[in-house]
Amino acid sequence: MSQVEYEFCRDEYFDYIAYRELAKIEGNSELKSILEEFSEQERKHYEFWKSFSGDCSGYSRLKLFLLILSRRILGLTFTLKLLERHESRVIESYKLYLSRLNGEARSRLEEIIRDEITHEKSWLDEMAEKESIVKYLGFIALGLADAIVEITGTHAGFLGATEVTLVAGVAGLIVGLSAAISMSGAAYLQAKHGGLEEKLRPNVSALTTGIAYIIAVILLALPYFLTKSMIIAFTASLIVALILIALFTIYGSIVRDRDFKKEFIETTLILLATAIASFLFGVIIGEITGIRGLIG
């Protein structure tokens, strides 16, 4: 037995346990059935490697707990995509290991590789179509992205026009909450007229967009109520904006198999360009109207 074979065996055993436990807590009967198929498939893979390595049935309970927590908070598709990313690396290791095997053992490992590449990938795509959080992911991203850019732009404009943080904070809330209502209405209409193939409920789409927008608005405005320094408030709000962008971009890139770095950079550049333009506009308006002197 080599360490490599032992690690392969432990990986497959953990996947077997993970899919089994995820199946136990799954309420959707179709998804539950798929997870049970996953678990049985991984059990067979584990048995294969066990024949080389001997007993390897230990696993990290902390890792399993975090996986279950991810399922409950972030959804099943996100959790399984994380597992798939690890398995992609394992597949490459299996391909390298093939040269050590001959006969039936080599054929069996080739079959395992096909299982990992073909079966689970197609099943994961099917599961993504069935999970509600994935269906409405576009509306969540729409609400967050629009709120971040719009409210950061509003705050940047007030940074150029006034030094009163309370004014900027209240303005951000007013603009943001008004925009949340508008965006919810747009999301409702988009879902309603998006075609039957989308199978999206307009009221849920509207609510999802509105809630995401309002959460972002509150988080972005909060620093302006905690300090009297516009620079500190704007900097803190900008950091919050970047964190929010990173979080929803990470989630979307994993679920949709997109390039995180590219999407994060694009969104960040749009945010910064909007902030700079709004700041300059605020300075101009402040000088023309004299508003800085009135409320600064």
Banded pLDDT at 183 (limits 50, 70, 90): confident
Decide if pLDDT at 262 tops 70: yes
Domain that holds residue 37: 3-130
Banded pLDDT at 34 (limits 50, 70, 90): confident
DSSP 193: T
Do 95 and 203 share a domain, yes or no?
Answer: no
| Rounded Cα gap, residues 263 and 256, in angstroms | 12
**Stretch among 14-18, 97-101, 136-140, 177-181 having the lowest mean pLDDT:** 136-140
Answer whether 256's CB lies under 8 Å from 132's CB: no
Q: Which of 170, 162, 278 is nearest to 224 (CA)?
A: 170
Last residue of some domain: 110, 130, 150?
A: 130
Last residue of some domain: 130, 159, 176?
A: 130
- Residues 184-207 have a mean pLDDT of 70
Structure tokens at 154: 């509003």
Do 64 and 22 share a domain, yes or no?
Answer: yes
pLDDT at 197: 43
Q: Which of 109, 111, 115 is nearest to 93 (CA)?
A: 109
Do 55 and 96 share a domain, yes or no?
Answer: yes
Do 146 and 222 share a domain, yes or no?
Answer: yes
Do 237 and 283 share a domain, yes or no?
Answer: yes
Answer whether 151's CB lies under 8 Å from 216's CB: yes
Place of tokens 């890792």: 63
| Rounded Cα gap, residues 236 and 223, in angstroms | 6
Do 95 and 215 share a domain, yes or no?
Answer: no
Do 83 and 184 share a domain, yes or no?
Answer: no
| Rounded Cα gap, residues 186 and 237, in angstroms | 26
Last residue of some domain: 130, 156, 182?
A: 130
| Rounded Cα gap, residues 121 and 8, in angstroms | 20
Give the CATH number of the domain where residue 65 resides.
1.20.1260
Banded pLDDT at 130 (limits 50, 70, 90): low
Banded pLDDT at 289 (limits 50, 70, 90): low
CA dihedral 76, 77, 78, 83 (to 10 degrees): 90
Decide if pLDDT at 198 tops 60: no
Decide if pLDDT at 63 tops 70: yes
Banded pLDDT at 196 (limits 50, 70, 90): very low
Share of the chain above pLDDT 70, in %: 85
Q: Which of 241, 196, 246 is nearest to 219 (CA)?
A: 241
Do 86 and 188 share a domain, yes or no?
Answer: no
Do 218 and 126 share a domain, yes or no?
Answer: no
Decide if pLDDT at 65 tops 90: yes
Do 157 and 76 share a domain, yes or no?
Answer: no
What burial letters (b/e) apply to 255-283, b meaning 16+ CB within 10 Å? beeeeeeebbeebbeebbebbeebbeebe
DSSP string, 198-259: G---HHHHHHHHHHHHHHHHHHHHGGGGT-S-HHHHHHHHHHHHHHHHHHHHHHHHHHHT--
CA dihedral 282, 283, 289, 295 (to 10 degrees): 80
Domain count, the chain: 2
Do 28 and 70 share a domain, yes or no?
Answer: yes
- Residues 225-243 have a mean pLDDT of 89
| Rounded Cα gap, residues 25 and 231, in angstroms | 48
| Rounded Cα gap, residues 270 and 267, in angstroms | 5
The average confidence (pLDDT) of the chain is 80
Decide if pLDDT at 286 tops 80: no
Do 32 and 116 share a domain, yes or no?
Answer: yes
| Rounded Cα gap, residues 26 and 18, in angstroms | 12
| Rounded Cα gap, residues 285 and 166, in angstroms | 19
